[in-house]
A = this chain, B = another copy of it.
Amino acid sequence: MKPNKTRSRATGRVTLADVAALAKVSPITVSRALRGERAVASDLTDRVKTAALKLGYTPDPAARALASRHSDHVAVLIPMLSNNLFVDVLESIQKTLRHAGYQSLIGITHYDTREEEQLLREQLQHRPAGILVTGLDRSDAARELIEKSGIPCVHMMELAQSPDVNSVGFSQTQAAMTLTEHLLQRGRQRIAFAAAQLDPRTMQRLDGWRKALKAVKLYDKALSYTNKSPSSMALGGEMLQHIMANDPSIDAIFFCNDDLAQGALLAAQRLKIKVPQQLAIAGFNDLTGSDLIGPGLTTIRTPRAAIGEAAAKMLLNLMREEDVPTPSVDVGYELMVRGST
C-alpha cells in the first residue's frame, strides 16, 4: 500500500485508490461498495463509506464515463426557452435529475429538425445516460441516432401510440376540442383558429378545433389563420387585427398559444373591440399573466411541471434498467374559464 505517490500528472484530487488505502480494501471493492453494484460485506461497506466521507471523495465523472461508457449526463432537447412553457418543463426536469445525480445537457432546437439532429449528434458524443426530447416528430436520421445509440429516451408533451415509445404528455387534439366545445357552448358560431410557429403540437390543436367544429357542422376552412413566424404577443395583436378586418362575422378566436392571445387582448383594448361581448378570445397553456390581463383569458392549463417531473422519473427508471409501469403517461389538462369567453 503505497501512500501518496507524487506522480507528475496527479490532479490532486482524492481518488478511489486513496479511499481504498484508508479503508484497507482494494479499489474495486470501494467502487462496488459506493455504487451498490454488487454485494459487498456490510463491514467492508461501512469502512469504505466512512473513509470516503472522511476524505471527501467524489468520483471523477470523466473517468467513470470512460470506463463504463456512460456519463452522468442526460441530453435534454427542447424547442425554445423564450416560450415560457419549456422553462417550466425544464426546471422540473433539472430538479428531478439533479437529485438523482444526473446532469442535464440542454439543447435548444428552435423548432428546427435539422438543428435537433445536429444537437443530438453533439450530445451523443458525451455518451449520455439518457435522452429527453420534445414531441414525436423528428428527422429519420435523428430517430435512427437515438435508436442505434441504445440509450433510453422519453418523449415529452405528446402521447405516443406505440408501446415501444416512451412518452409523457397529453392529447393536444383532445384539449383543443375541449376548448372549442366550450366556445360552442357559449353560443359562438364563427370560431376562428389562429396559429403561429406551426410546430406539430400546434397542428394537432388545429386538428382538434376542426374536429369539434365539424361535429356540429360549423367548420369552415376559411376560419383557419396560420402564420409560420414564431409565436409572440406582438404577432397575436397583428393577427387579431388582420382577422377582424378580413372577416367581421367572426365571433370567437382560438389562439394556439397564450402569448398570441394575450397580445390579441391588448390589441382589442386599443381597437375598442369588446371582449367577450363582440368577440370571445381563448388561448392555450395558461402562461404567466393570463389570469391578470383584463379580461382574464380563457385557456387550457397544461401541466408543464408534471410533464417534466414524470418524464425525468420515467427516464430514471429506464436508466436504472427498472421496469416502467406504463410507457405512456397521460398527465391531462384543465379548461380554465375566465372573462374573455
Interface residues of A (CB under 8 A from B): 11, 58, 60-63, 65-66, 69, 71, 81-82, 84, 87-88, 90-91, 94, 98, 103-106, 108, 122, 125-127, 232-234, 237, 259, 262-263, 266-267, 269-270, 288-289, 291-294
Contacts and interface: CB of A to CB of B under 8 A. Distances in A.
A58 B91 contact: no
Nearest to A119: B98
A91 to B, nearest CB: 6
A233 B62 contact: no
A313 to B, nearest CB: 19
A103 to B, nearest CB: 6
Given A91-B108, A105-B105, A292-B234, A125 B269 contact: no
A63 B60 CA distance: 12
Which 4 A-B residue pairs are closest in the complex by CB-CB distance? A62-B65, A62-B66, A81-B87, A62-B62
A289 B106 contact: no
B63 A66 contact: yes
A341 to B, nearest CB: 19
Contacts of A11: 69
Given A60-B125, A233-B288, A269-B294, 13 more contacts: A61-B125, A62-B62, A62-B63, A62-B65, A81-B81, A82-B288, A87-B87, A98-B122, A104-B106, A233-B292, A263-B289, A266-B292, A266-B293
A176 to B, nearest CB: 25
Contacts of A234: 291-292
A191 B83 CA distance: 34
A299 to B, nearest CB: 15
Nearest to A82: B87
Contacts of A106: 94, 104, 106
B71 A82 contact: no
Contacts of A262: 289
Given A105-B105, A233-B292, A62 B58 contact: no
Nearest to A95: B108
Given A62-B127, A66-B60, A294-B270, A91 B84 contact: no
A131 to B, nearest CB: 15
A106 B91 CA distance: 11
A77 to B, nearest CB: 13
A82 B82 contact: no
A81 to B, nearest CB: 5
B62 A126 contact: yes
15 contacts: A11-B69, A62-B62, A62-B66, A62-B126, A63-B66, A81-B81, A84-B84, A91-B108, A105-B105, A106-B106, A233-B288, A263-B289, A263-B292, A266-B292, A269-B294
B63 A125 contact: no
